[in-house]
C-alpha cells in the first residue's frame, strides 16, 4: 500500500510539474501574442495613414481635371499659350501628373481648319492620326467626328492622335462623352514610355453651355471636348512613400481592381507582391478606395524581423508552480466528482454522444447502441420530475407511441428505467431540420411544397387516429424534414409528449385543468376548460392548419405579447387568409381548405385526417417533385451543416462527454406489464 501511495504521489508531482510548465508556456505565448497584436495595430495605423496620403495626392490630380472646363468657359477660344500657362500654374503643387491635354470634338467638316490652325500656331507636323499599332501612327481615316489631342502640356508625340482609335482610351473617352461624368481608363503602357511604366488616363467632358445635355444623344451633340490628365504611379509612390520604402522589409503594391489581371498592378515595390503578398510577410494590410469611376487597392507588407522573445515569462511561470499545483488538485477533484456523476447515470448498452436538445420534461441525446450501430436518439426524463404526474405522462408517451408504425412517425426502439428510476426511451435519430428551422432559413414556402409536407403529416395522423391516439402538440418544432431512402423532404412527426388515448380520460384527472401544448397551435376547444373532455381528432387538424398557414406565410396565424392574448385570438379572432402576406400565389382551394382547418367550431373542419387527405388531392397545384426537393437540399446543404455545427459548439463541455446508459431490466419488465 505504501508503494502504491508513493507511486501515486510521484505521478501527481509529475502532473503538477507538467501543468506548471504548461501554464508558463501559455503565459509566454500570451505575451508574445500581445506584442504581435500591438505591432500589427501600429502597422495597420501606418498603412492607413499612407493610404490616406495616396488618396489625397490623387484628389489633387482630380482638381486639375476640374480646372480645365473652367478655363474653357472663361473665354471664347483658348490659345496654346494660355493653356500652357494655366496648366503649369495649376500643376505646381501636383507632382504626379505626367501630362494635361485638351481634346476637342472636331466634326469631319472642321478637320482641315483645325489642322491648318495648328500649323499656323507653329506645330508644322500636326495632322489628325490614328493608332494602327503600338507606336504606329497613320493619317486618320474619314469619320463623322474626331477626338484629337490638340493641346498637351508638356508637349509629346500624341498631338493630333484621335483617341477613338486607341483601344485603351476609346472606351473610357466615349463613356465620359456619353455619360457626362468623369471616367478613368484601365492601366496601359503608352508606346512613348521608355521604361514601359503603366499609366492611367482621366477624362472630364466639357459641354456647350447653351445646349442641353441631359441624355446620351444630346450630350454627343453638345460635347465641345474632353479634358484629359495622364498619371503615372511611380512618381506618386516616390512622393508619398519614399521614406517608407527605404526600409527593405517594407513593401507596397497599388492595384486597379477593375483592370484585367495582367495589367491590374499599377506599382509594386517587389515583383509579385501585388497579386500575391510575400509568403514570408509577417504583416500585410490592404486598403480599398474608389478613384474616378474605378476601384483601387493598396497593399502594404512587412517581412518578419528578429525580435527578443519574452523568455523571462517561462522563469516567472515556474515561480507560480505552487499555485498551479493547487489548481491541478482542484481540477482533479472536479474530475472525480464528474466521473461520480457519470457513473451514477450509466445506462449500459447506450453511449450518449452529445446533447441534441431539451423540452419541458426531458433531455434528448444522440446515442449509439453497443452492438447495433444504427443512429439512435435517447430521451431521458428530467431528474426533478421523478415520481410526479408529468413523469407518468412521459411514460405513457412512449407506451402509446410505440404502437404506431407509420413511416412518417418517429420509430421507438426501446424504453425502460435507469437504476435511479429515471424513465427513458430510445428512438430513431432524425438527421434534418424542423419546419420551424425551415422557415427561419428559407422563409415562406411555395404551395406545392406545403401540400407535399402537409399530406405526409396528415397520413401520419390517419395512423395515429385509427389507433385511437391524439397527438395534441402538432407544431413546426415537432415536425422534421429529412432525407430517407433516396427521398428528400421526408416528414417525421416527433414528440408525442401530449399524446392522449381517445378512450382514456385519466390523464386529465391526474394533471388537473392545466393548459398543455404549444399556444400558437391550440384548437379553441382545447383552450376552453369546460369542453376539454370533448377533444377529438379535429384538435390535431386545427393545429395542422396552423402549421400549413405558417409554412405558406412565414408567420403564425395569431401572435401576441402573452399566452393569454394568443389564446383569446384562437377563441375569438377569425384568421386572415394566407394570401395577405405572401408573394407566392396560393390556389384558392388550398386557402379555403386551410381556413376550414382553422375554423373555431370543430364541426366546420374536416371530420378526419383521412377526409383531409381526400381534400388535399383535390387541390390544383403543381407537384413538388423529387428533383425540386433534391435541388433545395443541395442549395441549402452548407447553411444546414453550419447551423448544426454552431449548435454543437454552443454545448457545454460536460454535455458532450460520452456517458454510458445501463438498463434496469426488472424495472423495464414492470413498466411493460403495467402498460
Write out the three cell numbers for 445: 414556402
Report how far residue 469's alpha carbon sits from residue 499's, in angstroms, rounded to the nearest whole number.
7
Task: Annotate 450-508 with three-state secondary structure.
Answer: HHHHHHHHHHHHHHHHHCCEECCCCCHHHEEEEEECCEEEEEEECCCCCCEECCCCHHH
In terms of Cβ atoms closer than 10 Å to its own Cβ (0-12, 13-18, 19+), residue 612 is buried
Report how far residue 296's alpha carbon sits from residue 54's, in angstroms, rounded to the nearest whole number.
11
Closest to 477 in 3D by CA, of 429, 437, 517: 437
Give every CB contact of residue 199 below 8 A, 6+ residues apart in sequence. 98, 187, 188, 189, 190, 193, 230, 231, 232
Q: Are 366 and 429 in contact (CB under 8 A)?
A: yes
Write out the three cell numbers for 591: 386557402
| DSSP 8-state assignment for residue 574 | P
Q: Are 243 and 104 in contact (CB under 8 A)?
A: no
Report how far residue 117's alpha carbon sits from residue 130's, in angstroms, rounded to the nearest whole number.
19
Write out the three cell numbers for 150: 490638340
Report how far residue 162's alpha carbon sits from residue 62's, in angstroms, rounded to the nearest whole number.
23
SS3 6: helix
Cα–Cα distance list, 666 to 4, 349, 381, 392 (Å): 40, 15, 18, 18
Task: Annotate 383-394 with three-state secondary structure.
Answer: HHHCCCHHHHHH
Half-sphere exposure (Cβ direction) of 329: Cα atoms closer than 13 Å: 8
Closest to 294 in 3D by CA, of 176, 192, 388: 176
Helices (H), 225-280: 233-241
Sheet with 250-256, edge to edge strand ranges? 265-268, 250-256, 294-303, 281-291
Beta bridge partners of 367: 352, 376
Active-site annotation, residues: 473
Write out the three cell numbers for 174: 466615349
How large is the angle between the packed helices 321-344 and 2-73, nearest 10 degrees? 100
Would you give the distance in Å from CA 265 to the centre of its chain?
30
Tally of CB atoms within 10 A around 552: 26
- Cell 471664347 -> residue: 76
Report how far residue 301's alpha carbon sits from residue 113's, in angstroms, rounded to the nearest whole number.
55
- Cell 513593401 -> residue: 251
CA angle 624, 630, 635 (to 5 degrees): 115
Q: Which helix (H) or strand (E) holds 219?
A: helix 216-222
Return the sign of the alpha-carbon dihedral for residues 347, 352, 355, 357.
Answer: negative
Q: Are 81 and 151 in contact (CB under 8 A)?
A: no
Amino acid at each position: 500500500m505504501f508503494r502504491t501511495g508513493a507511486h501515486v504521489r510521484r505521478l501527481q508531482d509529475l502532473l503538477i510539474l507538467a501543468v506548471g510548465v504548461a501554464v508558463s508556456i501559455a503565459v509566454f505565448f500570451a505575451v508574445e501574442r500581445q506584442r504581435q497584436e500591438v505591432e500589427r495595430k501600429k502597422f495597420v495605423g501606418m498603412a492607413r495613414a499612407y493610404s490616406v496620403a495616396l488618396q489625397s495626392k490623387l484628389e489633387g490630380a482630380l482638381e486639375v481635371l476640374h480646372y480645365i472646363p473652367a478655363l474653357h468657359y472663361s473665354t471664347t477660344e483658348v490659345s496654346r499659350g494660355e493653356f500652357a500657362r494655366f496648366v503649369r500654374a495649376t500643376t505646381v503643387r501636383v507632382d504626379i501628373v505626367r501630362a494635361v491635354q485638351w481634346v476637342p470634338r472636331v466634326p469631319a467638316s472642321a478637320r482641315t481648319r483645325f489642322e491648318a490652325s495648328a500649323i499656323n500656331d507653329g506645330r508644322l507636323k500636326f495632322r489628325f492620326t490614328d493608332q494602327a499599332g503600338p507606336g504606329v501612327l497613320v493619317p486618320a481615316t474619314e469619320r463623322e467626328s474626331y477626338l484629337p489631342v490638340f493641346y498637351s502640356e508638356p508637349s509629346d508625340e500624341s498631338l493630333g492622335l484621335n483617341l477613338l482609335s486607341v483601344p485603351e482610351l476609346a472606351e473610357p473617352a466615349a463613356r465620359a462623352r456619353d455619360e457626362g461624368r468623369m471616367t478613368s481608363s484601365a492601366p496601359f503602357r503608352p508606346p512613348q514610355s521608355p521604361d514601359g511604366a503603366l499609366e492611367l488616363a482621366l477624362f472630364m467632358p466639357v459641354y456647350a453651355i447653351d445646349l442641353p445635355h441631359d441624355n446620351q444623344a444630346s450630350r454627343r451633340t453638345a460635347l465641345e471636348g474632353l479634358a484629359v490628365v495622364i498619371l503615372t504611379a511611380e512618381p506618386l509612390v516616390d512622393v508619398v512613400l519614399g521614406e517608407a520604402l527605404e526600409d527593405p522589409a517594407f513593401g507596397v503594391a497599388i492595384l486597379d481592381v477593375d483592370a484585367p489581371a495582367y495589367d491590374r498592378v499599377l506599382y509594386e515595390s517587389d515583383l509579385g507582391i501585388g497579386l500575391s503578398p510575400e509568403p514570408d510577410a509577417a504583416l500585410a494590410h490592404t486598403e480599398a478606395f474608389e478613384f474616378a469611376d474605378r476601384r483601387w487597392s493598396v497593399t502594404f507588407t512587412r517581412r518578419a524581423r528578429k525580435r527578443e522573445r519574452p523568455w523571462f515569462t517561462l522563469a516567472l511561470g515556474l515561480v507560480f508552480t505552487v499555485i498551479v499545483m493547487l489548481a491541478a488538485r482542484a481540477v482533479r477533484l472536479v474530475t472525480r466528482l464528474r466521473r461520480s456523476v457519470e457513473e451514477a447515470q450509466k445506462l449500459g448498452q447506450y453511449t450518449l454522444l452529445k446533447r441534441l436538445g431539451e423540452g419541458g420534461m426531458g433531455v434528448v441525446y444522440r446515442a449509439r447502441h453497443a452492438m447495433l450501430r444504427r443512429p439512435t436518439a435517447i430521451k431521458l426524463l428530467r431528474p426533478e420530475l421523478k415520481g410526479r404526474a408529468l413523469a407518468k405522462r412521459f411514460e405513457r408517451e412512449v407506451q402509446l407511441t410505440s404502437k404506431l408504425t407509420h413511416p412518417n412517425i418517429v420509430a421507438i426502439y426501446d424504453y425502460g428505467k435507469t437504476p435511479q428510476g429515471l424513465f427513458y426511451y430510445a428512438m430513431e435519430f432524425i438527421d434534418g431540420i424542423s419546419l420551424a428551422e425551415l422557415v427561419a432559413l428559407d422563409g415562406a414556402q411555395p404551395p406545392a411544397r406545403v401540400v407535399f409536407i402537409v399530406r405526409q403529416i396528415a397520413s401520419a395522423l390517419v395512423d395515429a387516429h385509427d389507433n385511437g391516439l391524439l397527438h395534441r402538440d402538432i407544431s413546426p418544432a415537432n415536425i422534421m424534414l429529412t432525407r430517407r431512402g433516396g427521398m428528400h423532404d421526408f416528414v417525421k412527426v416527433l414528440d408525442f409528449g401530449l399524446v392522449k388515448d381517445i378512450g382514456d380520460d385519466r390523464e386529465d384527472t391526474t394533471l388537473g385543468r392545466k393548459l398543455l401544448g404549444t399556444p400558437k397551435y391550440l384548437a379553441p376547444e382545447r383552450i376552453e376548460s369546460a369542453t376539454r373532455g370533448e377533444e377529438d381528432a379535429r384538435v390535431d387538424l386545427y393545429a395542422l392548419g396552423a402549421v400549413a398557414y405558417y409554412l405558406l406565410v412565414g408567420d403564425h396565424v395569431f401572435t401576441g405579447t402573452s399566452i393569454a392574448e394568443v389564446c383569446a385570438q384562437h377563441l375569438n379572432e377569425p384568421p386572415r387568409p394566407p394570401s395577405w402576406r405572401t408573394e407566392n400565389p396560393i390556389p384558392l382551394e388550398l386557402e379555403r381548405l386551410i381556413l376550414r382547418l382553422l375554423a373555431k367550431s370543430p364541426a366546420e373542419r374536416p371530420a378526419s385526417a383521412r377526409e383531409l387527405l381526400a381534400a388535399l388531392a383535390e387541390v390544383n397545384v403543381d407537384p413538388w417533385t423529387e428533383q425540386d426537393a433534391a435541388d433545395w437540399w443541395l442549395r441549402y446543404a452548407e447553411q444546414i451543416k453550419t447551423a448544426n455545427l454552431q449548435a454543437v459548439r454552443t454545448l457545454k463541455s460536460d454535455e458532450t462527454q460520452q456517458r454510458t446508459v445501463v438498463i434496469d431490466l426488472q424495472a423495464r419488465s414492470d413498466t411493460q406489464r403495467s402498460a
